[in-house]
Amino acid sequence: MSDGSVLDHHSPYETPLHRDESAIAGMWLFLASEALLFGGLFLVCLVYSQTRAGGWAEGVRHTNLTIGAVNTLILITSSAVYTLAVEAGRRGDNRGVVRAGLGAAGLGLAFLVLKGVEWGQEFSENLFPGPHFALHGPASGAAALFYSFYFLATFLHGMHMVVGIGLILWICRKARQGAFSPAWSTPVDVVGLYWSFVDLIWMLLFPLLYLIGRA
Amino acid sequence: MARIAACWGMLVLLLAAELAATWAGLGIAVCVVAVLMVLVIVLGFMQILRGPPLAIIFALGGLFWLTILLALGSLDSFTRTTVPVPGGALDGPALPDRAAVPKESR
C-alpha cells in the first residue's frame, strides 16, 4: 500500500508543518476546555464574593499572603525557565532542554511543597470547613464557603501542577535520548503551553484567594 | 532569551504592583494587574500570535465561552441589588425547614 514517499512518513498529515500546527492547535483547544473548567470555579467566586462579601473577605484575610506571594514568584520563574527549554528545543539543544526542564520541574515541586506547608497550617488552625471550623460569628458561614472554594481550587490547580511536572519529566527523558532537533521539537512546545496555562490560572487564583478581600 | 527575561521582569513588577494595590486598598487595580499578568503570559510565554490561525481561533473561542459563562452566571447576583427581589435579598433569613411546615399551609 505504501510507496515509501515522503507524504506517507507524516501520515495522516500532508506536511511536517501541518502535523506540528495540528498538535499546537489541539493543545489550545484542550486549554480552552480547561478555561471553562476553571471558569465554573471563578463564577462561584464572583457570585459569592458579591452576595456574601463580609464572610468571604474574612476568609481571604486568613490566608497566608507570604506563602501565596512567594509561590506566585516561583511559578512565574518556573514558567520563564521552561520557556528557555522551548527555545533550546527549537535549536535542537537537547542538553539545554533537560537543564531548563529540570529547573522548571524543581520550581514546580517547590510550589507544591510550600502549598503543602500552607495546607498543613490551615488544617491545624481548623480552617477546613466542618463542625470544628475556627471562624465564628454571623459571617462564619460565608467564610466556610470561601474555604470550600479555596481548598477545591488549590487542589484542582495542584493536580494540574502534578500532571505538568510529570509531562516536563517525560520531555526531559526524551531530550536525554536526543529526540529533539531544529526540525522537530513540537512536544516541548506543547508541554510549554500547558505549563504556562497552569501558571496563568494561578495568576487569577492568587488575587481571588489572597488579595481581593484584603484590598 | 531577552524576550523571556523581559517577560519575567514584567511579571515580577506586576506582582509587586498587585501587592502594592492590595496594601493601598485598590481592589479594581488588583483585577487590572491580574489581567495584565495573564496577557504577558499569553503573548510572551505562550506566544499565541506566533501560533497557527486555528490556535488563535480556539483561544478566542475559549475566551468567548468563558465570558458567556461568567456574564450569564453572575447576572442575577450583580443586578439583584439594583432590582430587588420581592420578599427579601439573597442574604435574607433562611427558608423554613420544609419538614417543619404543616402540610396544609404549604
The three three-digit cell numbers of residue A193, written as one number:
503551553
Contacts 24+ apart (CB under 8 A), A118-124: A118/A64, A118/A67, A118/A68, A119/A151, A119/A154, A121/A64, A122/A64, A122/A147
- Interface-testing mutation among B37, B50, B56, B57, with chain A (most A C-beta atoms within 10 A): B37
**pLDDT tens by residue, A155-202:** 999 999 999 999 999 999 999 999 899 989 999 999 999 999 999 999
- What range defines the domain where residue B71 resides? 52-83
Q: Which of A176, A48, A70 lies closest to A114, judged by CA? A: A70
What is the mean pLDDT of the segment spanning A12-35? 91
Q: Rounded to whole angstroms, how far apart are CA atoms A211 and A178?
A: 44
Q: What is the mean pLDDT of chain A?
A: 91
What pTM did the predictor assign? Answer: 0.87
Residue with cell string 527523558:
A173
**pLDDT tens by residue, A80-129:** 999 999 999 999 999 999 999 999 999 999 999 999 999 999 999 999 99
Helices B2-23 + B27-40 axis angle, to 10: 170
Residue B46 falls inside a structural domain? yes
pLDDT surpassing 90 at residue B64: yes
Is the CB of A46 inside 8 Å of chain B's CB atoms? Answer: yes
Q: Rounded to whole angstroms, how far apart are CA atoms A51 and A57?
A: 11
Same domain, yes or no: B1 and B45? yes
Domains in chain B, number: 2
CATH of A31-211, picked from 1.20.120.80, 2.60.40.10, 3.60.70.12, 3.90.226.10, is 1.20.120.80
Same domain, yes or no: B77 and B56? yes
* Contact list, B8 vs chain A (CB under 8 Å): 76-77, 80
